[in-house]
Structure 1
Amino acid sequence: MNIRRLLSSLIAIVPVPSISKPLLAVQVTELVDGIFLGCTYNHAVADGTSFWNFVNTWFISPPLLEKVFHFSKEKIAALKAKANAEMGTSKISSLQAILGRLWQSIIRTRNLDADQEIYCRILVNMRQRLQPPLPEEYFGNVVLFGAAKTTAGELLKNGLGFAALQINKMVAQQTDGEVRKNLENWVKRPILSKLSAAASNALIVASSPRFNVFGNNFGWGRPVAVRGGAGNNYDGKMTVFPGVEEGSVDIQACLLPETLQAMEG
Structure 2
Amino acid sequence: MQQSPVQVVSRRTVKPPPRPRERIPLTTWDLSLLSADYIQKGLLFAPPPCFSTFTHLVDHLQAALADAIATYYPVAGRLAIDQHHDDEGHVVGCSVSVDCAGQGVEVLEAVADGVAVADVVPPDADVPSVVRSFFPLNEAVNYDGHERPLFVVQVTELADGVFVGFVYNHALSDGTAFWNFINAWAEIARVRLLPSPGGPRVLASRTPPLFERWSPDGTGAAAAPVVLPYADLEGHIARPTMPPPPQRDRMLHFSAESLAALKERARQELLAAGDTAGAAAVTSFQALSSLLWRCFVRARRTAPEQEVVFRASANNRGRLRPPLPAEYFGNAINAVSTEAVRASELLTRGHGWAAAAVGRAVAAHTDAGIRALAAAWAAKPGLSAFRLFDPNAMFISSSPRFDMYGCDFGWGEALAVRGGKANKYDGKVSLFPGREGGGSIDAEVVLTPEHMVALEQDDEFWAAVSPDVQPARKS
Structure 1 Cα separation of the partners of residues 377 and 251 of structure 2: 35
Amino acid at match of 2:440: S
Residues 388 and 395, structure 2, Cα contact 8 Å, conserved in 1: no
Q: Rg larger in 1 or in 2?
A: 1
**Residue 69 of structure 1: aligned partner:** 252
* Cα separation, 1, equivalents of 2:386 and 2:335: 10
Give the match's secondary structure for 2:280: coil
- The Cα offsets for residues 125-174 of structure 1, whole Å up to 9 and x where unpaired, read as 11010000111111110111111132211111121111111110000000
Query: Are the equivalent residues in 2 in contact too, given 1:73–1:248 (CA < 8 A)?
Result: yes
Alignment of 1:182-193 (within 5 A): 182-193=373-384
User: Structure 2 CA distance, aligned partners of 1:183 and 1:177?
Assistant: 10
Which residue does 2:352 correspond to in 1? 161
1:110 Cα offset (Å): 1.4
Conserved? CA contact 2:300–2:454, under 8 Å: no
> Is residue 262 of structure 1 aligned with residue 445 of structure 2?
no
- Matched with 1:95 is 285
Cα 1:123–1:256 shift into 2, 3 Å: same
Q: How does 1:88-237 map to 2 (within 5 A)?
A: 88=271, 89-149=279-339, 150-237=341-428
- 1:245 corresponds in structure 2 to 436
| Cα separation, 2, equivalents of 1:194 and 1:127 | 19
State the secondary structure of the residue aligned to 2:396.
Answer: strand
Give the superposition deviation at 1:199.
2.3
Partner secondary structure for residue 168 of structure 1: helix
TM-score by length of 2: 0.43
Structure with bigger helix share is 1
Q: 1:86 aligns with which of 255, 266, 269?
A: 269
Contact 1:68 1:253 (C-alpha < 8 Å) held by counterparts: yes
User: Alpha carbon RMSD of aligned pairs, Å?
Assistant: 1.5
Q: Give % identity.
A: 41
CA distance in 2, matches of 1:79, 1:71: 10
Three-state SS of the structure 2 residue aligned to 1:227 is strand
Counterpart Cα distance in 1 of 2:355 and 2:270: 9
Please report how far the alpha carbon of residue 85 of structure 1 lies from its aligned counterpart in structure 2 after TM superposition. 1.4
Shift, 1:197, TM fit: 3.5
Give the superposition deviation at 1:58: 5.3
Contact 1:119–1:148 under 8 Å retained in 2: yes
Provide the rounded CA distance (Å) in 2 between the counterparts of 1:106 and 1:225: 25
Aligned ranges 1:29-48 → 2 under 5 Å: none
CA distance 1:60–1:185, change in 2 (3 Å): closer
Please identify, of 222-231 and 250-259, the stretch whose mean Cα deviation from structure 2 is larger: 222-231
- Residue 222 of structure 1 aligns to which amino acid in structure 2? E
Task: Give the structure 2 partner of residue 7 of structure 1.
Answer: none
Q: Decide whether the 8 Å contact of 2:313 with 2:333 is kept in 1.
A: yes
Output the CA distance in 2 between the equivalents of 1:75 and 1:249.
Answer: 10
Shift of residue 59 of structure 1?
5.1
**TM score, norm. by length of structure 1:** 0.76
- Structure 2: gaps spanning 5 or more residues: 1-239, 272-278, 458-475
| Unpaired segments ≥5 residues, structure 1 | 1-56
For residues 102-144 of structure 1, the C-alpha deviation after alignment (integer angstroms, 9 at most, x for no partner) is 1111101212222211111111111010000111111110111
Distance 1:126 1:239 in 2: 18
